[in-house]
Amino acid sequence: MFGLFVRFTCKDEAAAAAFDELVARTGEQICANEPGTVIYTVHRVDGCPLQRVFYELYQDEDAFEEHESKDYVQAFLSEREQYLSATEVDRLDLVSGKGADVER
């Protein structure tokens, strides 16, 4: 299993609203077209209205690379920059847990 933890900081409230719309459109495509994407969740951060946290789990790094190659993901990666002031990405290697029904 392979994962990402990503924290985005939006430029302002208008940018956050537009980013949320972009995320919703992209998420629909991910849900419909990516069986190797196990979890793809987006969260607002309590007390930090301009921050969004993504938690992503993929069956393996190949599934992640497949995700990254999709045209709608490439469009998301390009379009998101206009809304953001900061991006932090952590790559994750699963040690243990509950809720991911994919073997290591």
Confidence of residue 101 (pLDDT cuts 50, 70, 90): low
For residues 5-24, give the mean pLDDT: 98
Fold of 2-91: Alpha-Beta Plaits (3.30.70)
Q: Is the pLDDT of residue 15 over 70?
A: yes
The DSSP bridge partners found for residue 41 are 55
Confidence (pLDDT) at 104? 46
Helices (H) and strands (E) in the chain, counts: 3, 4
| 103: pLDDT strictly greater than 60 | no
pLDDT digits (tens, 9 = 90+) for 69-90: 999 999 999 999 999 999 999 9
Model pLDDT, residue 95:
83
pLDDT digits (tens, 9 = 90+) for 26-61: 999 999 999 999 999 999 999 999 999 999 999 999
- Least Cα distance to 6 among 49, 48, 40 occurs for 40
Rounded Cα gap, residues 31 and 54, in angstroms: 15
- pTM for the complete prediction? 0.90
**Angstrom distance (rounded) from CA 37 to CA 35:** 5
Buried b (16+ CB within 10 A) or exposed e, 14-51: ebbebbeebbeebbeebeeebebbbebebeeeeeeebb
* pLDDT tens digits for range 17-28: 999 999 999 999
Bridge partners (DSSP) listed for residue 90: 5
